[in-house]
Structure 1
Amino acid sequence: MVRLSRVEGSTVPISIDEFDEYESRDQHDTNARRVVRFLAENHEQAFKATEIAEATEVNENSIQPVLNRLRSRGLVRHKQPYWAIGDLERVRNAFVFRSTTEFLDEKLGTESREDWLTAAKADDE
């Protein structure tokens, strides 16, 4: 049996239990969702990016781009070096919109930009 210890920043094999858990994760649970959920659950506090990465299990190399995208959408706030949840109503609306589009995509199929352009062109003729 091979036993390797986890070393921060290195790639090592994972146990089959970890593998099974990883496979069963919700495909819709993105890094951004985990960050927003964590900050919303802790809305009375602000955190450093490294603390958010650790708490959400988002890779430290990915956390800054995720936080910056969320900030550009008004979902998080930033005062160097801290990050906090943005306006809770805006966050709620973003989650409702996203879950609605995912539901519709599952029920009706995803939309195709090409189909929209073809239909618009047909309407113009």
Structure 2
Amino acid sequence: MPIGIDEFDSRDPEDRDTNAERVVRFLVRNRDKAYKAAEIAEATEVSENSIHPVLNRLAERDLVRHREPYWAIGDLDAVREATTFASTAGFLDDELGPESRGEWLAAAREENEE
């Protein structure tokens, strides 16, 4: 589904939720129901090509449950912990700057050299 060029130009890539975040948010808000993957894709605007990998990754972390052909929110404690972790990581990135893999590797090399 195409969007207008004005909407395209006004979108800030930094403010965009991940597909996983949109799926979890949708399923939490509708935790009294289970949905087919295509229904979740449509409701969250996640492409149908991406929805199954997203759902499978979330299922590995117990954030969603699956009984063919339906998907539902998973363990709410796991969802709460994941949300808290993501929020904390985002706060730390904002305050201290994002982590640098290169800096981590350099520090590990220095530690091994000592």
- Shorter-chain TM range is 0.7 to 0.9
Question: Which whole-Å CA distance do the structure 1 matches of 2:111 and 2:13 have between them?
Answer: 43
Aligned counterpart in structure 2 of residue 42 of structure 1, from 14, 24, 30: 30
Q: 1:86 aligns with which of 74, 79, 85?
A: 74
Give the Cα separation in 2 of the matches to 1:37 and 1:66. Answer: 13
2-structure distance, mates of 1:41, 1:117: 40
**Which structure would you say has the larger Rg?**
1
> TM-score, normalised to structure 2's length?
0.85
Higher helix share: 2
2:15: which partner in 1? 27
Offset at residue 119 of structure 1 (A) = 2.2
Q: TM-score, normalised by structure 1?
A: 0.78
- Cα distance between partner residues in 2 of 1:42 and 1:61: 23
Cα RMSD after superposing both structures: 2.1
**Match for residue 4 of structure 2 among 11, 15, 23:** 15
Unaligned residue ranges in structure 2 (runs of 5+): none
| Match among 93, 98, 102 for residue 110 of structure 1 | 98
Residue aligning to 2:39: 51
1:62 aligns with 2:63: no
Q: 62, 65, 70: which is aligned to 1:77?
A: 65
Would you say how many aligned residue pairs link Structure 1 and Structure 2?
A: 113
Q: Deviations over 1:32-76 (max 9, x none)?
A: 101000001111111000111111111111111111111111110
Aligned match of 1:3: none
**How far off is 1:26 after superposition?**
5.9
Q: CA separation of 1:48/1:26 partners in 2, compared to 1, >3 Å: closer, same or farther?
A: farther
Which runs of 4 or more aligned residues in structure 1 lie more than 2 Å from their structure 2 counterparts after TM superposition? 14-21, 24-28, 116-124
